[in-house]
Amino acid sequence: MQLQQGWITEARKVPSPHFNQRPNDEVPSLLVVHNISLPPGEFGGPWIDDLFTGRLDPAAHPYFSDISHLQVAAHCLIRRDGEIVQYVPFHLRAWHAGVSQYQGRDACNDFSIGIELEGTDTLPYTDAQYQALQRVTELLIAHYPEIAHNITGHSDIAPQRKTDPGPAFDWARFRTALSSQRDGS
C-alpha cells in the first residue's frame, strides 16, 4: 500500500467536495475511527458515497431527508468486505469530526484523519475491516508518525454527540495488531 499526493494508490477514489485546507499547513497527528451505515443498520449500496459527495437523494429513504443537506466526508471508508474508499487526500481537512476536542485541543478536523468503518455501534466489525484498518493506519503512521500515539474514537472527541465506533469495536484487537506490526512480530 502506498500514498501518492495524499491518496492511497490501492483505494477506490470518490472525490468529495467536503474538505478544505488545513490551517497553517497543519500536519495530521490524530486518527479518528468512526462508523457509518446508510440507512442505519444497512450495508452496501451507494448511499455513503452519495452522502460524502453531496449527492444523497432525500427521497431515496425516509432517513435521508434529515441528513441529505449535510456537508460531511471522512478521508476514508472501509466497507464490510475490506474495500477501502477514499474521499479526501490525507493532507487536506475532511469534514468528519464536527464540534470536537482532543486532549484539550478544539476543532479536531484541523489536525486529524477520519476513517469510517461501515458498521454500527453494536454489530461486530469484520476481520477484513480490521485488516484493512491496520494497513491504512500503518501507512498513515509511516507518513504522519504522531498518529502512532494519537488514535481515538469519534465518541471520545465528541462524547456528548457521538457514540461511534461503539462497543462493538475491539480496541484491544486493533491496538495489539498495530503493536505487533511495529515490534516486528
- Count of alpha carbons within 13 Å of 103, Cβ hemisphere only? 8
Q: What are phi and psi of 32, to 5 degrees?
A: -110, 125
Please report how many Cα atoms fall inside a 13 Å half-sphere around the Cα of residue 40, on the Cβ side.
Answer: 8
Active site residue 116: yes
Phi/psi for 160 (5° steps) reads -80, -20
Task: Find the catalytic residue in 26, 116, 118, 146.
Answer: 116
CA separation for the pair 44, 35 (Å, rounded) = 14
How many CA atoms, within 13 angstroms, populate the side-chain half-sphere of residue 46? 8
Name the 3-class secondary structure at 155: helix
| Active centre residues (catalytic) | 116
